[in-house]
Each structure stands twice: as C-alpha cells, then as structure tokens.
Amino acid sequence: MNIELYKKLHDEGLITEETLKKAVYKHNNPLLSLHWELKTLLYLGVTLLSTGLGILIYKNIDTIGHQFILLFIAAISTGCFYYCIKNRKPFNREQVKSPGSLYDYVLLLGCLSMLSFLGYLQFQYLIFGTHYGMATLIPMLILFYIAYEFDHLGVLSMAITNLAIWMGITVSPIGMVADSFKNTTPLIYTGLFLGLLLLVAGYCAEHYNFKKHFKFTYQNFGLNISFISLLSGYFNDSSYLLGYLWLIGVPILGFILYRDALKNKSFYFLLMIILYVYIAASTFVISWLIKSDSSSAFVLCLLYLIGSAIYFVTLLISLNKKIKAL
Amino acid sequence: MIIYNKIWLANLSVQQQLRPALDSGELSKDEFKNIEAAYPVGFYSPNIFVRVGLFILTNIIAVVFGCLLTYMLLDSDLIKSPVWYFFLGLFCYIVLEFVVRRENHFRSGADDALTWISAGLILAGFLILLANRFPLYDSNSITKLYWTAGIVFLLSSYYTIRFTDSLMAIMSFLSLVFFAAVLWYNSSAFGAATLPFLVILLSGIIYYFSLTKTKQPALIYYQHCISLVQITSLVTLYLSGNYYVVQKLGTELYGYTTIGPYKVPYPVFFWPWTILVPFIYTGAGVYRKNVILLRTGLILIAIAAVTFKSYYHVLPIEGTLVLIGIVTLGGSYWLIRYLKMPKHGFTYEELAAETIPGGINVESLIIASTQLEDTPKGTQSPFGGGDFGGGGSSSDF
C-alpha cells in the first residue's frame, strides 16, 4: 500500500481525513488475505482424497462388496442433505442468499453423490431395467426440485444437463433405428425444442418473478443449444430448400434475443448472439461464392472476411459503448 | 521510449492502486469518482469480452489480409525471400503504432494481437535469413541458436520497453537466460558440466535485482512486467536445480556416454534443492508477506512432490493420494478455522471481492461448462473420477 499516494490525495482534497486515517492504520497493520490460497488447497485436498478413495475402493471391490459401497455413498449423500436442511434458509420466490460457500459445496456434493448412487444402482442391479428414459427422468426431477428448493445455480445447471440427456435418450434410439443410424435430424429437432424450451423457461422466470436470477443459466444454455441446433440443421440440409429455413431462423432468434440482451445490459449475450449470426452469414456468403469456383471468387471471399471482420470490430466497440451508456 | 501517454499511465497506476480500497469499502464511491476525474485516463481499454473479441478479429483480419497480399504476388519471387516477412511485419507494426497513438488503444485486444503478429513476422524473416545462411544440421547450428536467442531477446526487449507488455518481458528474460546457457555450455567442458548452476545464478541475480532495484521512478510504468519477471525467474531458479529437469536435460545433452547412461552429478545438492526450495519460497513468502513468493512456492511444492514420487515409490498411488488429501484437507481446514479472526497479519476473509467487469457470474459459467461432461449419466460406471465443478454459485451476477 502506497501511503504517500494517500497523503498526496488528501492534500489535494480528494479523500477525507477519515479515509486517510483508515489507510494509515491499514498500512501500519498490514493484513494479507489467504482466501484464495486456502480455498484452492481445500479443493485440492478434497479432490485428492476422493480420487484416492475411489481408486482404493475400486481395487478392493472384491473384499468390500457392492452393498457396502452403496451404503457408503448413500451415507455421504444423506449426510450432505441433512447438513443443508439444517442450515438452510426458508424458501422464497426471490433469490435466497446462501449461508456460506461451504453450504454450496456440501449441497453440490450431496447431489453428485446422489447421482452416483442412482447410477451405481442402475449399473449394478439394473433397477430401472432397460427403461433408460426412466433412469434419467427421476434424477432430473429431483435435481430440478433441489435447485429451486435450495436455490443453487450449480444444481440447476446439472438439472438442465440431465434434461438434455433425458430428451436425447428418449428421442435418439427411436429416430436412429428408424433411419438405420444415418440421419441425425431427430436429434437436431430435439435440440432446437430443448433450446427454445429453456429460453421460454428463462423468460418465464423473469416474467412471473419466480427465481428471477435463474434466468441467466436458462438463457445461457438455451441460447447456445438453439443456435447450435439451427446451424447444424442448416449444415445438415444445406443442399435443400429446408436448409434456408433453418438459416432464416438464426437472425430471427438473434433479433429477439438481441433486444432482450440490450434490455438486460448483458454484453456476454450480445457477443454470443453476434457471433452466431456472423457464423451463419459467413457460411452462407462463402458457400455461395465458392460455388462459382474461380480465382476471383477466392479473392472476393478474402475481401468479404476482411470487410466483415472490420465491420464486426466497429460493431463490437460501438455496442460496448451503447451498453455502458444505458 | 514508451509509446503511451505517460501522464495517463501514471494516472492509471493511481487508479489501480486505489481500486482494492474501493472494493473493500474503505474508499467511498464518491471519493473514487473525484479521483477518477482528477487523474483521468484516456486509454481505450475495454472489458475482457471485447478484448478477446478484438484479439480474435484482429488476428483474422491480419491473416486474411496477408493471404490476400501474398496471393496477389503469388508469381513473383518476392514472397519467397525473407524481405516479404519483414515487409508484412513492419506493416503490422506501423498499424500497431497507429492504433496505439491515434486511437489510444491500451490492452484492448487489437494492440495485443498486432504486437505478437508483427513480432512473429519479423522473427520469421530473421529465421528464414538464418536458415539460408546456415543450413540445418550444419556444424554451424550452434551459431544459429545464438543468433535466434539473441534476436528474440532484442525484439522482445524492444517491445517490452516500448509497449510495457508483460508477456514480452517474460520472453525477453527467457531468451536472455537461454542465450547465456548456450554460450556457457559451448564455452568449455567446465561450462558444460556446470550448466544448471549458471542458470540458478543468473535467475537468482535477476530476481534479486527485480525485487530490490526496481523502485526507481524511471521504472514506474513497468511494475507489472517486473512482477512477471520475478515469478518467471523464481520458477527457472527452482527448475534448473530440479532433479527431474536436470536428469532429462542431461540425458538430452549428453545421452549415453562411454561410462553408461547419464547420471545426475551431485545428488547431494540436487535432491535437497528439489525438495527444500519450494518450502523456502513459501516460508519466505509468509514471513515477508510476499504474495508472489508464497503462490509460486505453493505451486512448486506440488511439482516437488510429483518429482519425488516419480523416483521413489514409497506408497502405492492411492495411498499417496489419500494421505496427501487428508493432510491438505485437514491443514487447510484447520488454517481456515484458525484464521477466521485475523492473526499475525493474516486472514481468511476476502479483502476485496474479485469481479470481472462485463456483468456476468463467472463461476456459474465455469460450472455450466464443466458439468456438461461431468454429470454421471445414469448408466455409466460410477468411478468417473474426482472432478469438481466448483461451487460458491450463489453469488450475484
């Protein structure tokens, strides 16, 4: 800490006497925060210990037996949830501040070990038989419930991932067998549906003021999944007219989300939207230019890339200014 | 020599020094606003997203533009000669000077990209020149190494001084050490045998000077370069005495000699060095409250442990993991409890909330990106590994 700087600023009348006193006190009693070092060590310890225990159990599975391991995992999970229920704050539609970072991790550990427990049961004893849809649906429902009940964004992300797995599992075997594994279109439709569903969920969270802060996570997943589905739909059907239908979807969705991002002053979403729209536009222009297969087309491609990238730069700078001014 | 407006750089330094105080709430927002007004900074330094975006886009523009120019001159002999690379590099450099001087870009992504592209192209020109002079696997290949290291040193030093770029400062330091090492290695048999000690000595000297002699007003604009050079010199100081590194490098340089495979000389020196130096760093970091020493030491302890483990098998891997896990977990948990109330000038509390500008929750992003792969998929084996997605996800965004 540069105490001379504070004195100078005080002489210039920029900071108050009180601030200077605080600074001098701090200078004379320096305090070093070991927050990040200790936190990192803590996580490292947990990771090493769990990996080591995992290998230990794996090597000795014959002597330990599956029931014991299941019991052990269940005990961890129950213990974690017990801790969380004991320390939790009551449910609220608004954001509930977590009691501490330990609480967050315990909840996460509880959820992960619960998933391991269910996965183990399915793997070893096939409790859901071959109803894989069922095997993914139940953890998903539990995860969504926990995410809302305990207000945890990490668990929400896990729940959304499980939703995607469930939808993928439900759709893909049927579609793939029907098409002798050649066509992935059903998966693309599912992806688009999932993405739009998540975007709607994000919209509803804000509109009905029910866990408003979940919107970011919903929108982050929804935006990426929808755009990727649209683009892969276009790449898949680019030789048909249907391909253009996919392509038109990109700017339309982009425009809707663009207005929402401006409203929420989220530069991250703006950047993602522009990026996807740019990819769509560029593939369209370049594939159209390359069709004529001449050297002038190649030069035109290069010129297009330079021009569009320069335009993109100015757009980025001006949008950044616009968001700041809002 | 510095291309930037020096008053702005000084003002920026004032603002940066006060920012932690603002984050921890000692400085009120009004006071900080007054200071910002009294010490204005006119640089264009956008947030990290814009910076990354501009970096990528500038790269695209430069590459495509280079392609276009090369394509237009495809039939001439010019593009085969090093002059072409010098020309492209100088062109990028002129654009860089323009962007920085006229548009006042400062760490905006565009200037970062142009710095590296122009330096890379100029270096490529020199390398082609060298390759033409000294064909590969010639007896002169050592001379080529001198030249390469020397040119990298001169180029990166120039960029460091002119643009106060910290990565270039690291490049400059490393190329200097490399240059000295090659020179020493080839000077005599004695030099070849004492190579690690030269690097240790050189890193030590540079660390000492960067720690003690850098408070002069002339170096005020280079403080971040100096801290990075400190970190790098600490790492090279340790690594050049690390048993594994010495053995690998020795095998590489001397290979199988007439008296059998290469053996590390003076194990009495290198083993204690491998194990003790990280702890000395950490201890000195705690004692002097020097964050750089402390963090470098902590990371190097892990490297020392891995080095030791790869030579001596005391315990099977799972036993080691469990043991170290318990010690680390227990130790850090105990320290966290112990430091709940500040003691001896240390605390566990966060003094300033570290947030990335741009208005998003970084942790939730990390969770989202790691969880996509980590979630047990219901039908998979439960022993997927011990990945942690990270938590603390209930903070604001």
B185 touches A at CB < 8 Å = no
Q: What is the dihedral of CA A57, A59, A64, A66, to 10 degrees?
A: 70
B108-128 as b/e, with b when 16 or more CB fall inside 10 Å?
bbbbbbbbbbbbebbbbbbbb
For residue B139, the tally of other CB atoms under 10 A from its CB is: 7
Residues A94 and A174 in one domain: yes
B371 touches A at CB < 8 Å = yes
Tokens 């990290």: give the residue: B48
C-beta of residue B162 within 8 angstroms of C-beta of residue B3: yes
Residue B44's beta-bridge partner residues?
A: B105
B394/A119 Cβ within 8 A? no
B329/A42 Cβ within 8 A? yes
Q: Which residues of chain A make contact with B321, given a CB cutoff of 8 A? A: 48-49, 51-52, 55
A297 touches B at CB < 8 Å = no
Which amino acid belongs to residue B269?
A: F
pLDDT by 10s per residue, chain B, length 397: 788 888 888 888 888 887 777 777 777 777 778 888 888 888 888 888 888 888 988 999 999 998 888 888 888 877 778 888 999 999 999 999 998 988 888 888 889 999 999 999 999 999 888 888 776 665 566 778 888 899 999 999 999 999 988 899 999 999 999 999 888 888 777 777 788 888 999 999 999 988 887 777 778 888 888 989 999 999 999 998 888 888 888 777 776 555 666 677 777 788 888 888 999 999 998 888 888 888 899 899 888 888 888 888 777 877 888 888 888 888 888 888 887 777 777 777 666 544 444 334 444 444 444 444 443 333 333 333 333 333 434 333 3
pLDDT along chain A (326 residues), means of 10: 74 75 72 78 82 81 82 90 88 79 84 88 81 83 91 89 83 58 71 91 88 88 90 79 83 91 86 89 86 81 90 87 80
B217 touches A at CB < 8 Å = no
CB-nearest to B394 from A33, A104, A268 is A104
Could you tell me which chain B residue has the CA closest to the CA of A101?
Answer: B392
Q: Which of A154, A138, A148 is nearest to A201 (CA)?
A: A148
Residues A293 and A196 in one domain: yes
Residue A238 inside a domain? The answer is yes
A145: CB partners within 8 A, 6+ apart = none
Residues A234 and A312 in one domain: yes
Q: Which of residues 101-140 of B touch A (CB under 8 A)?
A: 110
A12/B38 Cβ within 8 A? yes
Q: Which of residues 64-93 of A touch B (CB under 8 A)?
A: 73
pLDDT digits (tens, 9 = 90+) for A203-250: 998 888 888 888 888 999 999 999 988 888 888 776 777 778 888 889
pLDDT digits (tens, 9 = 90+) for A173-208: 555 555 554 566 777 888 889 999 999 999 998 888
- Rounded CA separation B288/B273 (Å): 21
Residue A126's beta-bridge partner residues?
A: none
Residues A135 and A258 in one domain: no
In chain A, how many domains are there? Answer: 2
CB-nearest to B391 from A23, A54, A101 is A101
C-beta of residue B321 within 8 angstroms of C-beta of residue A46: no
**DSSP label of A14:** S
A216/B328 Cβ within 8 A? no
Please give the helix or strand (H or E) that residue A113 lies within, else none: helix A101-125
Interface size between A and B, measured as CB pairs under 8 A = 266
**DSSP label of B257:** B
Residue A134 inside a domain? The answer is yes
Could you tell me which chain A residue has the CA closest to the CA of B31?
Answer: A15
Helices vs strands, H then E, count in chain B: 15, 1
A267/B358 Cβ within 8 A? yes
A185: CB partners within 8 A, 6+ apart = A175, A179, A233, A236, A237
Q: Which residues of chain A make contact with B289, given a CB cutoff of 8 A? A: 30, 32
Please give the helix or strand (H or E) that residue B361 lies within, else none: none
CB-nearest to A104 from B50, B345, B391 is B391
Q: Which of A3, A10, A31 to mutate to test the interface with B (most CBs of B within 10 A)?
A: A31
For residue A208, the tally of other CB atoms under 10 A from its CB is: 10
Q: Which of A242, A241, A227 is nearest to A274 (CA)?
A: A227
Residue B346's beta-bridge partner residues?
A: A32, B343
Residues A174 and A232 in one domain: no
CB-nearest to B361 from A5, A31, A216 is A216
**DSSP label of A108:** H
C-beta of residue B252 within 8 angstroms of C-beta of residue B195: no
* Residue A153, Cβ density class (10 Å: 0-12 exposed, 13-18 middle, ≥19 buried): buried
- The alpha-carbon gap from A255 to the nearest alpha carbon of chain B, in Å, equals 20
Residues A177 and A196 in one domain: no
HSE-up of residue A317 (Cα within 13 Å, Cβ side): 15
Angle between helices A153-178 and A132-150 (to 10 degrees): 160
In terms of DSSP H, where are the helices of B164-222? 166-187, 189-193, 195-212
A51: CB partners within 8 A, 6+ apart = B321, B325, B385, B386
Instruction: Find the domain containing A101 and state its range.
Output: 64-183
Tokens 């007003």: give the residue: B217
Q: Which of A76, A116, A45, A75 is nearest to B383 (CA)?
A: A116
Residues A260 and A303 in one domain: yes
Angle between helices A153-178 and B362-374 (to 10 degrees): 40
Residue A51 inside a domain? The answer is no
Phi, psi dihedral angles at B312 (to 5 degrees): -120, 125
- The alpha-carbon gap from B29 to the nearest alpha carbon of chain A, in Å, equals 11
Residues A264 and A313 in one domain: yes
Q: What is the dihedral of CA B224, B229, B234, B235, to 10 degrees?
A: 110
The last residue of a domain, from among A183, A218, A241: A183
- Rounded CA separation A196/A198 (Å): 5
Q: For the residues of B272-328, what is the DSSP string, one character each?
A: HHHHHHHHHHHHHHHHHT-HHHHHHHHHHHHHHHHHHHHH--SS-HHHHHHHHHHHH
Residues A191 and A326 in one domain: yes
Could you tell me which chain A residue has the CA closest to the CA of B391?
Answer: A105
B258 touches A at CB < 8 Å = no
The last residue of a domain, from among A183, A215, A244: A183
- Quote the pLDDT of residue B138: 59
Strand blocks (E) in chain B:
346-347
- Rounded CA separation B373/B380 (Å): 12
Residues A267 and A222 in one domain: yes
A116 touches B at CB < 8 Å = yes
Q: Which of A4, A19, A68, A108 to mutate to test the interface with B (most CBs of B within 10 A)?
A: A108
Which amino acid belongs to residue B101?
A: R
Residues A85 and A164 in one domain: yes
CA distances from B107 to A318, B61, B104, B393 (A): 17, 18, 10, 30
A42 touches B at CB < 8 Å = yes
Q: Which of B321, B340, B344 to mutate to test the interface with A (most CBs of A within 10 A)?
A: B321
The last residue of a domain, from among A183, A218, A239: A183
Residue A79 inside a domain? The answer is yes
CB-nearest to B376 from A115, A265, A267 is A115
Residue A193 inside a domain? The answer is yes
B295 touches A at CB < 8 Å = yes
Q: Which of A47, A46, A103, A53 is nearest to A73 (CA)?
A: A53
Three-state secondary structure call for residue B347? strand
B338 touches A at CB < 8 Å = no
Residues A172 and A195 in one domain: no
Q: Note the pTM of the prediction, 2 decimals.
A: 0.77
A302/B68 Cβ within 8 A? yes
